[in-house]
Amino acid sequence: MNFPQRARSGVRVGAEGQGTSSAGTALRKSVPGDENAVAKAVEELLSELGGPGPEFSLQGAKQAALRLIQDPEQGFIFVVEEQGTGQIVGVASISAVQAVRAAGAYGVLQELWISRDFRSSDCGRHLLEAVDSEAKRRGWQMIEVTLPPDGYPALERVRHFYEERGYRVGGLRARKRL
pLDDT digits (tens, 9 = 90+) for 97-156: 999 998 999 999 999 999 999 988 899 999 999 999 999 999 999 999 999 888 889 899
Tell me the per-residue pLDDT of 29-58, one tens digit each, with 9 for 90 and over.
999 999 999 999 999 999 988 888 888 999
| Residues paired with 75 in a beta bridge | 95
DSSP code of 66? H
How many angstroms separate the Cα of 166 from the Cα of each of 47, 146, 173, 174?
27, 14, 19, 23
Question: CB neighbours (10 Å) of residue 114?
Answer: 22
Domains of the chain: 19-164 (3.40.630.30)
- Check residues 171 and 77 and name the one with the higher pLDDT: 77
3-class secondary structure, 82 = strand
Q: Would you place residue 172 in the very low, low, confident or very high pLDDT band (cuts 50, 70, 90)?
A: confident
Q: Would you place residue 169 in the very low, low, confident or very high pLDDT band (cuts 50, 70, 90)?
A: confident
Q: Is the peptide bond before 54 cis (omega within 30 degrees of 0)?
A: no
How many angstroms separate the Cα of 85 from the Cα of each of 60, 79, 81, 97?
26, 14, 8, 34
- Check residues 5 and 20 and name the one with the higher pLDDT: 20
Q: Would you place residue 19 in the very low, low, confident or very high pLDDT band (cuts 50, 70, 90)?
A: low
pLDDT of residue 176: 82
Residue type, 71: D
For residues 64-83, give the mean pLDDT. Answer: 97
C-alpha to C-alpha distance for 106 and 95, rounded to whole angstroms: 8
Q: Would you place residue 1 in the very low, low, confident or very high pLDDT band (cuts 50, 70, 90)?
A: very low
